[in-house]
Amino acid sequence: MKRSYSKYSAKGDLLWLILRPWIFIPRVLYILLTFIFLFLRILFQGNSKNKNVQKNLSKYLFDVITDLGPCFIKLGQALSTRPDLVRQDWLTELTNLQDNLPAFDHKIALKIIEEELGSSAYELFEEFPDSPIASASLGQVYKAKINNSYLAVKVQRPNLYFLIRRDVVILRFLGTFLSPLLPLNIGVGIGEIIDEFGKALFDEIDYQKEAENALKFANLFKENPNIFIPKLEKQFSSKRIITTSWIDGVKLRDRALLEENNLIPSSFIKTCVISGLQQLFEFGYFHADPHPGNMFALKGGNADCGNLAYVDFGMMDTITNSDRLTLIKAIVHIINEEYYLLAEDFQKLGFLTKEQDLQKLVEPLREVLGGSFGAEVGNFNLKNVTDKFSKLMYSYPFRVPSRFALIIRAVVSQEGLALRLDPEFKILKIAYPYIAKKLLTDNSEEILEILLEVIFDKKGQIQIEKVESLLNILFKDSENINSDLIPVANAGLKLFVSKKGSEVRKNLLLSLIKDEKLEFTDAKKLLTLIRDTFSPQNFAKSAVQNIISTF
């Protein structure tokens, strides 16, 4: 019998559970008692230096999360990507939450396949194993064979809709009830954050929706040779079954595992971060669950950019065009240390109310963000800033819009994954050059408007120091300064002579007039800066580097 699942409804699902007190009350008590015992054990044993004690504690933590079910496993997976938040011996155990959970009965899996696809697994496939190769929070994966090709057949866990519906309601109830007692000031009801989590989970258990997501994601990256998306096998997919081509790669779990397979960890960090930035800032559609179990390092690629495969497209989300452009502006304002404008960005995104006096936030923002970069933008560490920002949010009326819940989860998970591969990784060492290149090469109307804000002040005068900062970020702090030189020069020239470049040309001419007189000082500085950056010697290096990278 094929199932049809409803969408998540906070009020409707709460009413459904309240009308079933024999389910609601025992489950709430069980969750509360479980967490009380866990808290007490961590309180008394968490600081122990005895390795056996910590090993047993990490195993107990894993067992507790696993026992509580899919909703809590999803939360535990987020923790498993943060080596800067969770001690290493616990982290090793929590990593198993990604795809090494206890499997459900193989006979039940076979029954679900037959119910969903109309025939038994042994009739549908040439070879079908007697046990899954991986088992995750929502399903388990079998490596099947047909027409001499291997396929990944993911079968959903039984009774999943009921379990998630029940526990999301209880999480929301407990979160709303306990939030006043917690030392948090996220400014928005924690219930709204859990609502976003619930909606995402309800979408994730609909494998037909996941199939659509996989096709859309593959289309977005079809021109990217470093990103691989497994092919969907529609004839073997349904509401509770999804089948794709098999990925023969290495999971991005740790540096040693990649090196054992002669793969360069840093190359996959760059591909991972750049693809994540593309999802947020170009496509407006992103993978909201980028943990190591959902990403594979593939052979090929080069030392700069490795080949990366994404799997599991159940938890996806979108970002509006307005939010996307405001985030780009916010990053530019951080680069330029324009904290009042940054406060305006936060206000536009909904992190601050319209009534908030933004001037009062300039110094606190400068304190949190200004000292985080040190001598180079690459010294930025998201965890350090997050810690400081948490204090800022507690002291000032910041709020977290619920629509940003999955965006924050994706960014934090991605930085955590990169930190697993390289503890010294700094996310902005890749992110800043990416944003700088986008500003200098993307000729869309929206990005051009942001670029003009960087180049010219409100009076129309050239801001030499900001142009220099932008070029330095791309060509000085970047590790591959020459590879972007020709594309940036080409895009800049095209823009300058194009119809869209009329605003740039007009502003350049107006900037030469000061006090009704022609003033060429800034123009000379700009020309000197361009001449030094795009010198024939640098062009030659760029051409050589581009040729080498093709081999």
Co-location of 386 and 462 in the same domain: no
pLDDT of 128-177, one tens digit each?
999 999 888 889 999 999 988 999 999 999 999 999 999 999 998 888 87
In a domain, 176, yes or no: no
Which structural domain range is residue 46 located in? 10-97
Q: Sheet harboring 241-245: ordered strands across? A: 134-135, 139-146, 149-156, 241-245
Ranges of H-type helices in 370-404: 382-395
Render the burial of 268-284: b for 16+ CB within 10 Å, e for the rest.
Answer: bbbbbbbbbbbbbbebb
Q: Cα-flanking dihedrals φ and ψ of residue 239, to 5°?
A: -65, -35
- Mean local confidence (pLDDT), 303-312: 88
**Domain identity same for 298 and 429:** yes
pLDDT at 219: 95
Residue at token pair 């109310």: 353
Burial class (CB in 10 A: 0-12, 13-18, 19+), 358: middle
Burial class for 39, CB neighbours closer than 10 Å (0-12, 13-18, 19+): exposed
- Does some domain include residue 32? yes
pLDDT reading at 504 higher than 90: no
Q: Same domain for 367 and 272?
A: yes
- Residue 148: inside a domain, yes or no? no
In a domain, 430, yes or no: yes
Clarify whether residues 323 and 422 are in a common domain: yes
d(CA 289, CA 273): 14
CB 249 within 8 A of CB 297: yes
pLDDT at 283: 92
Domain boundary among 62, 97, 132: 97
pLDDT of residue 535: 61
Residues 61, 200: contact at Cβ < 8 Å?
no
As given in the structure block, the two tokens for residue 53 are 């004690």
Residues 314 and 272 in one domain: yes
pLDDT at 519 over 50: yes
Q: 0.85 exceeded by the pTM?
A: no
Whether residue 299 sits in one domain with residue 285: yes
Quick check: 386 and 398 in contact, CB under 8 A? no
Q: Could you tell me if 395 and 462 lie in one domain? A: no
287 and 335 together in one domain: yes
In the numeric block, which tokens belong to residue 299? Answer: 């052979």
* Residue finishing a domain among 97, 125, 151: 97
Q: Binning pLDDT at 50, 70 and 90, where does residue 2 land?
A: very low
pLDDT digits (tens, 9 = 90+) for 338-380: 889 989 998 998 888 888 888 888 888 887 776 544 444 445 5
pLDDT digits (tens, 9 = 90+) for 411-460: 877 877 787 788 777 776 777 778 877 877 777 778 877 877 777 777 66
- 466 neighbors 452 (Cβ within 8 angstroms): no
Record the tokens describing residue 101, joined without a space: 């959970």
Strands 307-310 and 227-228 come out as parallel
Check residue 47 and give its pLDDT. Answer: 80
Q: Given 99, 195, 203, 289, which residue is catalytic?
A: 289
Final residue belonging to a domain, choices 97, 126, 155:
97
* pLDDT at residue number 258: 87
Evaluate whether residue 538 is within a structural domain.
yes
In percent, the amount of the chain with pLDDT more than 70 equals 75
Asked if the structure places residue 1 within a domain, the reply is no
Q: How many domains does the chain have?
A: 3
C-alpha closest to that of 139 among 117, 160, 122: 160
| pLDDT at residue 232 greater than cutoff 80 | yes
Tens digits of residue pLDDT in 101-130:
888 999 999 999 999 999 999 999 999 999
420 and 472 belong to one structural domain: no
Same domain as 386, residue 447: no
Which pLDDT score is estimated for 338? 85
Does residue 98 contact residue 77 with C-beta atoms inside 8 Å? yes
Helix (H) and strand (E) counts in the chain: 24, 12
In a domain, 369, yes or no: yes
Token pair 């999480």: residue:
171
For residue 348, tell me if it sits in a domain.
yes
Given its phi and psi angles, is residue 394 left (phi above 0), alpha (psi -120 to 50 degrees) or beta?
A: alpha
pLDDT at 534 over 80: no
Cβ atoms 274, 313 nearer than 8 A: no
Are 385 and 297 within one domain? yes
Provide the angle, in degrees to the nearest 10, between the axes of the packed helices 10-18 and 160-178.
100
Backbone torsions φ then ψ of 296, nearest 5 degrees:
-125, 140
Q: Are residues 414 and 267 in the same domain?
A: yes
Rounded-to-integer distance, Cα 209 and Cα 199, Å: 13
Active site residue 89: no
